[in-house]
Structure 1
Amino acid sequence: MRSLVILIAFSIFNICSAFATHTSAKKLDSTYTFGAFDKATGKRLAATFKIYFKTTDPLIIQGTLQSDVQFKPATKGQYEVEISMPNYVSKRIPLNLENLGAGKTNFKEVLEVAVDEYIILITDAKDKQIITSAIVKVYDDANKEVEAKVNPKTGEWKTMLDVSKNYRIDIEAPGYQGTSMEIQGVDVTKVAKTPSKFISVSLQKNASQVASFIATDAITHEPLIANYKVLRPEETTLTGQSNKNEPYKIEFNPKKKFTVEVSADGYKTITEAISFDQTMIDRGIPSALLKKFELQKDTYSFLFKIIDSQTKANIISTRMRIINLSTKQSIAGKIEKEGFSANLSPDTEYSIEVESEGYQQANQNINLKELIAKNQFVQEILLVRKSTEQYRLIVVDEENDKNVAGANLRIFNAKNEPITISTTNVQSEWLADLKIAEQYTAEVKTQGYLALRTPVLKTNKTVYLKIKKVPTAEVYFMVTDFYTKNILPSDYKLKTGNTLVEGTMNPEKTRFKATLSPDKSYEIEVVSDGYPAYKETVNQTKAVNNVITLELKKTGYDFTFNPIDSKTGAAIPNVKITLVDANNQSIPVTNNEAKSVSPKSFEKKYSLNAQAANYKAFSETLDLMDMVAANKHDIVMEKADPVQAPPPVVEKPKVEEKTVAKKEENPTPAPPIATPKEPEKKEPEKPVVSSIADDYFKGIAIGTPVKLENVYFDQSQPVIKPQSFPELDRLVSLLKRYPKMSIEIVGHTDNVGDPRMNLYLSELRAKAVSNYLFNKGIAPNRLTHKGKGQEQPVSANDTEENRQKNRRVEFIVLEL
């Protein structure tokens, strides 16, 4: 009745809306509104509205519980509106919008509930009594089970179904024939009456019954995987299996007797005659047809945990024996994470023996029947710690784990007091009785090894004390001239104490490689042609980048002076050269050469004087230390001015001479003439120059490396070859044209050979170029040098051509 009233109300509302729309058609309002309501309650629904037009995708508008949804069509024509809501029957209505704004513009639609509650009752076909043991399962079209719930008191089943869909209902009950039924869905919009929500199903009793068998452990009552053999007189024997989740089921005639044999792995097989209570079966009690079998194990699994009696912690490293007291035989146990496990028979008595390092042995008898009755399958065996334990201490080489002969071992207690230890028949092995609860320290000393002091780790009865050999390092020896820094071919002899140390020498005899130990001192003896024999005591600390350089001094050095014309550069003959120090001590110079000059002279500065016919006298202060590397020095002399004849002398009268003389005797000074001071002129500031243009050296700028082409050295030596002089002289000319220019000479090598030697050689070669420039008259404060070795290649070191590019000398302008 209520639904009819609501329906009439909605009809009146729609008529009014249509009338209102008609009267306002002249406004041509093209906005349409839609609302959805529950048919039974009249409540607004948050339905989904899909508006279809021709073949385009639908416009989807989601409704709300507050108001209608609005739709403004862009094109006139025939539309369709689909209204849907979960658990409600969908509705699709046509919408004629050929004349936009005219006709009905507000639509109120009601939806019917699609899902409803169904009640299912299962009854006995004969006595019409409800079968409370029945099982009802409901499936949809996709064979997916739909939830169905039973009231255990009344046996009534309830489920929620969609009246528009198809379902299948399967029904079973112990002692009854099962059945299935179909529920056909209906379109409630097209039928006057919906199907009934009450379903009653009657089941016929079976002549036979279905029994369920399960097997459990007699003690733990846990379900088992069991095998069954059903022996039926005058009928076929049945076999089957039950698991932990599903029982074994058989169909039988309650009036006939049968026997069941049950077996399971690890359990004793049992055989039992089966009978059921027919009265309970007739009453439909489920347990009436369920039979449980309790099986007894042959053996039970026990876990034995070995526990420290004081700390209660598990003891991992243990040995355990389980002895059968009847046969006196050991039973095999299995090592587990927490201890040992074993399968033991409850009808046998056992004894357990446990040993562990640092603990007293434990012996314990166990009564399995009592433990099984109490369900105590995990047992703890307590061990008591010993006060002392004997340990074997072995000193071994860390690299090869071999005993080190001649090692000296001392053991100290917690008070740092040495304790008594005893040797064994094996070298470098000792025995020591150590207290379990006390910490000890071992100290090992032996020749050729680093001293060791370490705690004694008592995790094992045998303690290995590993010592390291004294670390060694490969060191290169090189001999250079103290002043020139040239590398000298030499013979080497290296000793430590009275022991000769082996080494290797390169073919040029410029490098000697040997292995040095940091704990030793060495004596190196070298012999080089033209130099006195030399000895020096060295060790690893004297090595720089693993190179020890020995610098030798000659008893005398030769110097050559090269007098040249300042304009033509031609050699000047017959020049008298003298070298005199501040104490007027001279060094003889014959034929432009000073022979066997003592290095002591290098500590002084000398005045260099040169005289030659038709040239101005030349003088400069010279430091022999600066020119010793090149052994040559240019004396640049200028041509003397030509001598002119004096003008003729004209004699004057004596009188005039006297007059003039008198006038000159008392001259009257003229008054000074005041001259106005001119304003002091300030020179304009010169702009900072950062680059220059040169016809030969390209790209000269501050900080930019410029390569010196065609500069060559002797193999593995810092000695400049003569074919390099033209290139270096061009650099001299550049430096003289720009007297404020200062540069840094940088040497580079390829990657062939030892990187440390390459770095050292590159620095010596850079210094050799710097010395050449100095001996050509470039002030030393304008020159610096540096070696980079193989650190900055300009090409890959993969071919000889590319390696040649990396062997170079560059200069970098520091200041202009």
Structure 2
Amino acid sequence: MEKAVGVIRVNAIDAESKKNVKKVNYIVKNIDTEELQKYLAISTEGIVYLNLFDSPLKYELEISAKGYEPQTIKLDSSSLDRVLNYMLTPVKKASVVIPVVAQDQLTKDLIPVFEVVSTNLKLTETKPYKVLLVDGDEIDVEIAAKEYQTYAKHFVVTDTLLNLSKLIIPLERKSYTFLLKSWEDQELTEHIQASYKVFDLETNTMLPLAFQGLFPMVELYPSKEYSIHVVANGYEPVITRFAPLNFIKNKQFSIDFILKKKKVIAKAEPNLVIQSKEFGVIEKGRAITLLNLYFDQSSPVLRKESFQELDSLVNLLRDNPSLKLEIRGHTDNVGDFNLNLKLSQDRCQSVIGYLVTKGIQADRLKAVGRGPLDPVVPNSTEENKKKNRRVEFIRQ
């Protein structure tokens, strides 16, 4: 009896490695009808069963496998009861060799010394590292560096990686070193020797300090917040909350404090009364008129004739360093009230300005313009009006 089925065994072989290719797909198609011969059995081992009643036998066998160029084979009667070996050519994959670079995740600074500890990276060079990336490959990148957290991540190589000029690996640093500095001025020119305490707000523990020359150093973590206490002799203490993250991103590793001097409270004079040759007894709250004080007409500009009187006031203040004065100005009632009020204030400021140029501290002096509010006599005559136009000082 004539056989109804013919058998062909097909082996798919890698053209480069010469090894059998696994997971191969086989499709049989009738050449004349271009119909798939679904009724033909094809085993996973590559055994093809053909219907021998087709006359003549004209079939095509398509062989395909992931990562290989597909093959099309014509089958006929001569192929029966044979083992056919077909070479599959691997698909050419895009690839690139690029350097591996490690950088600080926050500052973006390059990390000069690091180790690639991955086991499946195709390294072409080491120190500096270069890696071969092949399209479709799966790789595990693991990078270690001193003082940094180990980086570990799984990648599938795609066009995104293949188009890179370098493989940049961001490493997270465990902590950063900050210098603690205190200053007298915003320009940071006058350094102040201070003591510091730094507390971790999460654990409420005080951190140890190290020293680099004049400045203490402390190790801070970017994800935490801290409380910093600053104390210096003669200055107001400072307690501040500090989050280092933005400082690190801006590569600012100095924490600068501007300290304010403590206010010195002057001790009261042992005697309530101050005696002056020029001004007599100077008691608290008593107004003393500066008799020889002259200004330009309706102006706060001092005339030279006033300087001798003001120099006497300078001597009084120098001899009594704790003495504070209120400089009080008055006008007559002629003219606009608001203009007179402003004129009296401006004349007081002129007096204070002169005293300050002679070395008297401005915080010992206070200007008060009263305008026409406090006449000493009625403004009924020119002589009385002249008496009402005056500048006084009052001991505070």
Is the structural similarity TM-score above 0.5? no
Shorter-chain TM-score bucket reads 0.3 to 0.5
Report which structure shows greater RCO (CA 8 Å, sep ≥6): 2
How high is the TM-score relative to the length of structure 1?
0.24
Larger radius of gyration: 1
TM-score (norm 2): 0.45
